[in-house]
């Protein structure tokens, strides 16, 4: 699907990665509907990009109905909003668990369900789900985040098969460690030598190219990280042992501490 003159609904637009996605899509002619919780950031971005803005908290279980009604006809969904979900599962309250599940997984499912009939009626559309390499490789102290990102990736692959004959493309984009903006950058964690990062702009380009080329899955990470995540999917026990021996679990420990206040 071409981006030019298409209406795009982008969730999580107020974060650094969301802003990069919005700017890239606008440069390629998209008509944007931007959503987020930070009204001042959202309004400023919408003014800059000549976009519509809708303040929405996707942790509210009723929010998606109102968002769909306000958005109207949408050609492309980019489900980008997410909460970290880092730390041991037993440190989360039920309300905190519900919040992560609602934002990271339930909202994208409901938005897709609400938009699919209109896309079928108009003869096409595209759904993009921003998952993570954490949707391919599980690590200690990220069980809740892993659960939502694995779920989002599974949703994407299944919908791609379901909607193939309806002319609707479905893509999942899986970033690794992203510098300068986003959850990892905001946590303040320092990576050991040899663990590379990518930029928000590279995530944005991956989202756009996934739509333009109808790519099923796009990883945004250095080659080593892509190989490691694939290996973790094939041999999870060996991968877990490797992370313990190499001390790589310290990264998730540090991220859990850095993201403690974001629940």
Pick left, alpha or beta for residue 195 (phi over 0 → left; psi -120 to 50 → alpha; otherwise beta): beta
Q: Provide the b/e sequence for 6-25 (b: ≥16 CB within 10 Å).
A: bbbbbbbbbbbbbbbbbbbb
Average pLDDT of every residue of the chain: 90
Map out the domains of the chain with their CATH numbers. Answer: 7-258 (3.40.50.720)
Sequence-separated (6 or more) residues with CB below 8 Å from residue 103? 58, 59, 81, 82, 83
Q: Measure Cα distances from 84 to 93, 100, 124, 137, 191 in Å.
A: 15, 8, 32, 15, 18
Q: What is the pLDDT of residues 78-119, one digit of tens each?
A: 999 999 888 899 999 999 999 999 999 999 999 999 999 999
Query: Which pLDDT value is given to residue 76?
Result: 98
Q: Which of the two residues, 228 and 164, has the higher pLDDT score?
A: 164
Q: Which of 71, 32, 36, 35 is nearest to 48 (CA)?
A: 32
For the segment 20-49, the average pLDDT, to the nearest whole number, is 97
Query: Which sequence positions are flagged as catalytic?
Result: 145
For residue 218, pLDDT over 90 is answered with yes
For residue 186, pLDDT over 80 is answered with no
Q: Which of the two residues, 122 and 225, has the higher pLDDT score?
A: 122
From 14-23, 112-121, 222-231, the region with the lowest mean pLDDT: 222-231
> Is this prediction's pTM over 0.85?
yes
Longest dimension (CA), the chain: 53
């Amino acid at each position: 699907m071409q981006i030019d003159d298409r209406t795009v609904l982008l969730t999580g637009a107020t974060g650094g990665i969301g802003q990069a996605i919005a700017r890239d899509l606008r440069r390629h002619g998209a008509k944007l509907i931007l959503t987020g919780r930070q009204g001042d950031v959202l309004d400023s971005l919408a003014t800059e990009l000549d976009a519509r803005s809708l303040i929405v908290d996707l942790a509210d279980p009723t929010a998606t109905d109102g968002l769909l009604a306000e958005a109207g006809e949408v050609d492309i969904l980019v489900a980008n909003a997410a909460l970290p979900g880092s730390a041991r599962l037993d440190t989360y309250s039920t309300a905190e668990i519900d919040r992560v599940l609602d934002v990271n997984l339930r909202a994208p499912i409901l938005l897709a369900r609400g938009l699919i009939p209109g896309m079928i009626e108009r003869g096409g559309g595209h759904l993009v789900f921003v998952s993570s390499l954490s949707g391919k490789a599980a690590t200690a102290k990220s069980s809740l985040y892993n659960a939502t990102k694995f779920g989002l990736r599974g949703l994407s692959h299944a919908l791609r098969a379901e909607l193939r004959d309806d002319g609707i493309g479905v893509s999942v984009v899986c970033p690794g460690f992203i510098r300068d903006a986003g959850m990892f950058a905001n946590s303040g964690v320092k990576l050991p030598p040899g663990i590379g990062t990518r930029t928000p702009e590279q995530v944005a380009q991956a989202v756009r190219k996934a739509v333009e080329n109808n790519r099923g899955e796009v990883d945004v990470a250095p080659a080593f990280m892509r190989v490691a995540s694939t290996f973790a999917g094939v041999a999870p026990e060996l991968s877990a042992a490797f992370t313990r021996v190499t001390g790589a679990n310290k990264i998730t420990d540090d991220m859990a501490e850095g993201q403690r206040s974001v629940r």
